[in-house]
Amino acid sequence: MRKRYLMKINKIKTKKLTWIHISKPTQEHIDYLKETYDFHPLDLEDCLVKVQRPQISEYAHYIFFILTFPVYNRKVREMESGEIDFFVGSKFLITISDGTISTIDTFFNEVQTNDFSREKYMSAHPVFLLYEILHRLQNYTFPMLDHISQDIEGIERRIFKGEERKLVVEILHTKRSIVDLRRIMQAHKNIIKKLMSTHTKFFMHDKTNVYFTNILDRTKDIWDLLETLKENINTFQETNESLISYRLNDIMKTLTIISVIMIPATLVASLFGMNINQMPLIDSPIGFYYVLTIILAIILLFFAYFRKKDWL
């Protein structure tokens, strides 16, 4: 006797295909899938935990794979990982989301409420529906790449305006976002390639490879963009550090020159400050002005020398 479940199962069913979408799965959801479908217990267990590592498993009657996608946390300005699990069979597609990626929820609601979309995406093999989901998830990623690209352009414009120290934090935030995106997206290419190799399964047709090829090409495009963004931010980080180093060296040079100029003047002042009766000019009523003139002359002499050497 089948167990009665209290939770709501989001399901769209047509003559050829059933799509079940679960957001923020609970143990009750997993129990339902375990009873309804013959899925491996380890796959079902993975749906309840944050895997953080894309993977794929093939079985006689279904394919299970996990993909991660970026989610931007505005509060901490950090790129986090959102997980989606897929079960693909000959007549069903099951998607399980951790609730952080709204794109797939929006698409499910569209197919559920719109007859045209339901007819378009659920009247054939589940792979065509899977393609559209992956296509939309990739489109969801591109605006993040564009935003990072705009941040880098902003850094480029500000880098020669004397804001080097302020830009250090901005550069590190941008660099961290790129590193996080690369970590999240780096396994996609291998997963898609393995999906393309499953056309020998009885529920996967040869013609579906055309769709996966398109997804694979877009995955490569995303990775190429990430590589370009990585190279750009590294270049601007090196440029910014060079400018900071140059300005620090310039400041140190100026301070060193000032010290060199002041040392002889300090020496003269110290000599005439010694309490010795035979000190020249000590009894002259204008002796102080003579000493001051000597000190100023030494300073001007050194200043003229450094100017001639183009050190000032």
Reported as a single tens digit per residue, the pLDDT across 96-125 is 998 888 899 999 999 999 999 889 888 888
pLDDT at 1 over 60: no
Residue 18 has pLDDT above 70, yes or no: yes
Other Cβ atoms within 10 Å of 152 Cβ, number: 21
What tens digit of pLDDT does each residue of 131-187 get?
A: 899 999 999 999 999 999 999 998 888 887 877 788 888 889 999 999 999 988 888
Helix 208-272 vs helix 287-308: crossing angle, to nearest 10: 150
Contacts of residue 137, Cβ cutoff 8 Å, sequence gap at least 6:
67, 69, 84, 101, 103, 104
What pLDDT is recorded for position 222?
Answer: 92
Q: Check whether 71 has a pLDDT greater than 80.
A: yes
Structure tokens at 238: 């090196």
pTM value is: 0.77
Edge-to-edge order in the sheet of strand 92-97: 10-13, 18-23, 92-97, 78-88, 63-73, 55-58
Average pLDDT over residues 220-224: 91
- What whole-number distance in Å separates Cα of residue 165 and Cα of residue 103? 38
84: number of Cβ within 10 Å: 23
Average model confidence (pLDDT) across the chain: 83
Which domains does the chain possess? 10-245 (3.30.460.20), 253-308 (1.20.58.340)
d(CA 132, CA 215): 10
pLDDT band, very low/low/confident/very high, at 21 (cuts 50, 70, 90): very high
pLDDT band at 5 (very low <50, low <70, confident <90, very high): low
DSSP symbol at 162: T
